[in-house]
Structure 1
Amino acid sequence: MYSVRISFLIILIFCLSSCRDNGVGQTLPEIINDDVLNSVGEFNYLPSNTTGAVYKKRTYALSYSEEYEQAEWVAYVLKSSDIKEVDFKRPYFEIDTDILTGAAHWRNYKKSGYNKGHLCPAGDRRSNLKDYEETFLTSNISPQKYDFNAGIWNRLEQKVRYWAKKQDSIYVVSGGVLTDDLETIGFENVAVPKYFYKILLSNDHKKMIGFLVPHQKSDKPLYSFITSVDEIEKMTDIDFFPSLDDDLENRLESNINYDNWDF
């Protein structure tokens, strides 16, 4: 009996250590990769979260919602050096073993009628194979209709890369709007968002733009989907830039003018 108790204590200590290593319950600066922060200056860009489960990857961070079996947001810096014309072999999607509550299995998507839609696109991580492959984790995907994923969402991703090249780097937050009335797919009930959002902050902190895109095929121009970040915050209950100076945050997040963005 004594040896059993000792074994149990060893297992418990290991599990607690794993929780710390994965960033659960830690303050934001302790869980985010310093390289991501420092690439655009000494600034904590991480949004707030409703999940209590924020994880860092090599080049992005995410807040994983067990309730909806996907990330409520994925945040990262996109640098011009990340965007290369490299034709890496597309890998299979893998279950993210870092997620302590268990990330959704890729089989949930099989024969569901939905694509595995990247939140941090593979095209934003072409500087090396390891970074590229890390985007193929199930914690970085959300169910998306094919004509949405390959259409308006792809056009927006390409435009973000265009801006990142022009500005050298840009900060990106992306996700689906997760609410209680959503359709689900698969044996783990992965939620299908009705809207997806993408929020961008320039590396000089002088401009911000938000997009709220209905989850459906659209041929409308991208500027048709510009929405204030304040509006996206109301829909998601997330504060996307809590570390910005309050006056600057209020001004940027309420803005819907896109004159200083090159469309």
Structure 2
Amino acid sequence: MGNPSAAGTSSSNYLVSKPQYVLSYNSFRGTPNWVSWHLSSAWIGSTPRQDDFRADNTLPAAFYKVQSSDYTGSGFDRGHNCPSADRTLSEADNSATFLMSNMIPQAGPNNQQTWANLENYCRTLVNAGNELYIIMGSYGKGGTGSNGYKETIAAGKVTVPNRIWKVIVVLPNGTGDVSRVTASTRVIAVNTPNTTNISSSWSAYRTTVDAIEAATGYDLLSNVPAAIQNTLEARVDSAPIQ
């Protein structure tokens, strides 16, 4: 659906394209700016969680490679952007989600409840015959984990984000996906604080794509025609949640 930050070769906006997802990596923050992926039944299988958290050694040599141990004792989870359960067709696909370039320091209740519930909801939409285009990111500095408020972890090498967001485009299964996005396509935008004091209901944090763009400076859904973008991005999703 587009490259929201025009990511390329910049150390703060470095484009990484993997078979399982695409991301913009920020070597100064030690986290992705955003991660984008497609979710359909073709990605879902029976592969168990690999839990092989590890450094992403495909990043440029000059970048610090965040280690799993950098999060140890920090009070924050190693929070997936592209979830493990969205990539269960093969061990290689699932393992790719455990690269540290796909992680952010995420408050436990935020990760394990609010975002887990949203991720599960996305998969129910897939089970109902849809395919999704998902982009998740974070911004700002400073969050509250189990050990209190922190702006960085790992001796300053990893920035703790202040806000965590996601945009989900919902399409019935089909082909020519971008061309099928219309002014009535369902788009879910969510923006949460990175804190332990958070509702487990992600629907409480629904917002507009426009608001996320204003906060980040990104151009989301840029491959969608402008007139359709303008309609979709100004709307707050209000569909009932089962």
TM range (shorter): 0.7 to 0.9
Amino acid at match of 1:140: N
Q: Pick from 111, 117, 131: which aligns with 2:73? A: 111
Bigger Rg, structure 1 or 2: 1
- The residue that corresponds to 2:59 in the other structure is 99
Instruction: Summarize the Cα distance change of 1:103–1:166 in structure 2 as closer, same or farther, 3 Å threshold.
Output: farther
- Structure 1 position 55 matched with structure 2 position 16: yes
1:177-188 correspondence runs (5 A): 177-179=139-141, 183-188=151-156
CA distance in 1, matches of 2:125, 2:207: 18
Amino acid at match of 1:185: I
* Unpaired runs of at least 5, structure 2: 144-149, 172-179
- The residue that corresponds to 2:159 in the other structure is 191
- The residue that corresponds to 2:204 in the other structure is 224
Instruction: Summarize the Cα distance change of 1:52–1:151 in structure 2 as closer, same or farther, 3 Å threshold.
Output: closer
Instruction: Summarize the Cα distance change of 1:246–1:179 in structure 2 as closer, same or farther, 3 Å threshold.
Output: farther
Identify the range of structure 1 (136-145 vs 77-86) with the bigger mean alpha-carbon deviation: 77-86
Q: TM-score, normalised by structure 2?
A: 0.82
CA distance in 2, matches of 1:179, 1:79: 33
* Aligned residue-pair number: 218
Alpha-carbon displacement from aligned partner over 1:118-161 (angstroms, at most 9, x marks no partner): 00000100011100000010100000122221111111111111
Instruction: Measure how far apart 1:75 and its partner are.
Output: 0.1
- Structure 1 position 163 matched with structure 2 position 86: no
Identify the range of structure 1 (211-220 vs 170-179) with the bigger mean alpha-carbon deviation: 211-220
Instruction: Summarize the Cα distance change of 1:125–1:163 in structure 2 as closer, same or farther, 3 Å threshold.
Output: same
Q: TM-score, normalised by structure 1?
A: 0.76
How many percent identity over aligned positions?
A: 26
* Unpaired runs of at least 5, structure 1: 1-43
Q: Pick from 46, 53, 68: which aligns with 2:3? A: 46
Instruction: Measure how far apart 1:179 and its partner are.
Output: 4.7
1:121-160 correspondence runs (5 A): 121-160=83-122
Identify the range of structure 1 (100-109 vs 206-215) with the bigger mean alpha-carbon deviation: 100-109
More helix by share: 1
CA distance in 1, matches of 2:163, 2:65: 21
More strand by share: 2
- The residue that corresponds to 1:255 in the other structure is 235
Are the counterparts in 1 of residues 186 and 237 from structure 2 also a CA contact under 8 Å?
no
Are the counterparts in 2 of residues 104 and 188 from structure 1 also a CA contact under 8 Å?
no
Are the counterparts in 2 of residues 81 and 127 from structure 1 also a CA contact under 8 Å?
yes
- The residue that corresponds to 2:224 in the other structure is 244
Q: Pick from 165, 169, 179: which aligns with 1:201? A: 169
Identify the range of structure 1 (79-88 vs 54-63) with the bigger mean alpha-carbon deviation: 79-88
Instruction: Measure how far apart 1:201 and its partner are.
Output: 0.9
CA distance in 2, matches of 1:243, 1:179: 29
Q: CA RMSD of the aligned region, Å?
A: 2.1
Instruction: Measure how far apart 1:209 and its partner are.
Output: 1.5
Instruction: Measure how far apart 1:229 and its partner are.
Output: 0.5
